Amino acid sequence: MAHATATAHTGEHAHGHDHEHEHESMKTFGFWLFLITDCILFGTLFATYVVLRGNTSGGPTPAELFEMPGIIAETFILLTSSFTSGLAVLAMNRGRKNQLIGWLAVTALLGAAFIALEMLEFVNMVHEGATIATSAFLSSFFVLVGTHGLHVSLGLIWMIGLMLQLRKRGITPVTKRKVDVICLYWHFLDVVWIFVFTVVYLMGVM
C-alpha cells in the first residue's frame, strides 16, 4: 500500500513537472501575441503623430523644441539597458542567481535614468509654454512619447517585483519564464524607442 502511494506520488510529480514546462512555454507564446497588440497600439499612435505633426497652429515647431543632446543621451541609456537585460538572461542560463539579479538591477537603474531624463525634457517644454494642449502636434507628441515612457515605468515596477521573487525562489521554470518575458518586453520597448527617435526626433529636427 505504502509502496503504491509512493509510486503514484512520483508519477504525479514527474507528470506535473512535464506539464509545468509546457505551461510556461504557453505563457511566453501568449506574451508574444500581447506584443503584437502593443505594436498595433504604438502603430496607431505613430500614425496619429505623422498625420498631426505639421499642425503646430502657430505654436512651437519640432525643430524649435527638441534639444538633441538630451535625447541622444536617453537613447544610449535605453540601448545599454537592453544590452544589460540580455546579460541578465545569459547569467540566468548559466544558473547564476546573484549575477542575474545584479544585471536586472543595472537594467532597472538605466531605465529609471531614462525616465528621469524624459521627465526633465517634458518639464522644460512645459516651462517654455509647449504643453499638451498647445497644438495638435504637441498633443500627439506628448501622448506618443508619454505612452512609451509609461510602458518603461510599468516595466520598472514589474522588474523590481521580479527581483524580489528571484531572491526568494531562485531560478525555477516559473521565474525563468518571467525573466524571459520581461526581457522580451524590454527589447520591444527599445525597438519602439528607435522608431520614436527616428520618426519624432530625427525627422523633427532635420
Partner 1 sequence: MLDSIKDFASEFFVTGDPLILGAQVSIAIAMVAILFVLSYFKKWGWLWREWLTTVDHKKIGIMYIICSILMLFRGGVDALLMRLQLAMPEMQFLEAEHYNQIFTTHGVIMILFMAMPLMFGLFNIVVPLQIGARDVAYPFLNALSFWLFFWGAMLFNVSFVIGGSPDAGWLAYPPLSGLTHSPGVGQNFYIWGIQISGIGSLATGINFIVTILKMRAPGMTLMKMPMFTWSVFSSCIIIIFAFPILTVTLALLFLDRFLGTHFFTLDAGGNPMMYINLIWMWGHPEVYIVVLPAFGIFSEIAATFSKKKLFGYKSMVFAMISISVFSFFTWAHHFFTMGSGADVNAFFAVTTMAIAIPTGVKVFNWLFTMFRGRITFTTPMMWMIAFIPCFVIGGMTGVLLSVAPADFQFHNSYFLIAHFHQVLIGGVAFGYFAGLYYWWPKMFGFKLNEHLGKWAFWFWNIGFYVCFMPQYVLGLDGMTRRMYTYDFDMGWGPLNLVSTIGGFMMGIGFIFQVWQIAYSIKKNQKDVTGDPWNGRTLEWSIPSPAPLYNFATLPQVEAVDDWWEKKQKREQGIAPPPAPPLEPIHMPKNSGIPFIKSLLWFFVGFGFVWGWLWMAIPALIGVGICMLVRQFSYDTDYYIPVSEVQKAEAQARGAAL
Residues near partner 1 (CB under 8 A): 11-12, 15-16, 19, 26-27, 29-30, 33-34, 36-38, 40-41, 44-45, 48, 51-52, 55-57, 59, 132-137, 139-140, 142-143, 157-158, 161-162, 164-165, 169, 174
- Cα distance between residue 178 and residue 184, in whole Å: 10
**Of 48 and 99, CB closest to partner 1:** 48
Q: How far is the CB of 140 from partner 1 (least distance, A)?
A: 7
Q: How far is the CB of 206 from partner 1 (least distance, A)?
A: 21
Q: How far is the CB of 132 from partner 1 (least distance, A)?
A: 5
- Cα distance between residue 158 and residue 85, in whole Å: 14
**Of 74 and 178, CB closest to partner 1:** 178
Look up cell 522608431; give the residue: 195
- Could you tell me the sign of the dihedral formed by the alpha carbons of 64, 67, 68, 71, in that order? negative
Give the H or E element holding residue 53.
none
Return the beta strands (E) in 51-203 as ranges: none
**Of 43 and 95, CB closest to partner 1:** 43
**Of 81 and 135, CB closest to partner 1:** 135
Q: How many C-beta neighbours within 10 Å does residue 191 have?
A: 13
**Of 75 and 140, CB closest to partner 1:** 140
Q: How far is the CB of 189 from partner 1 (least distance, A)?
A: 16
Task: Note whether 144 and 151 are within 8 A (CB).
Answer: no
Residue type present at position 16: G
Q: How far is the CB of 4 from partner 1 (least distance, A)?
A: 12
- Cα distance between residue 199 and residue 180, in whole Å: 29
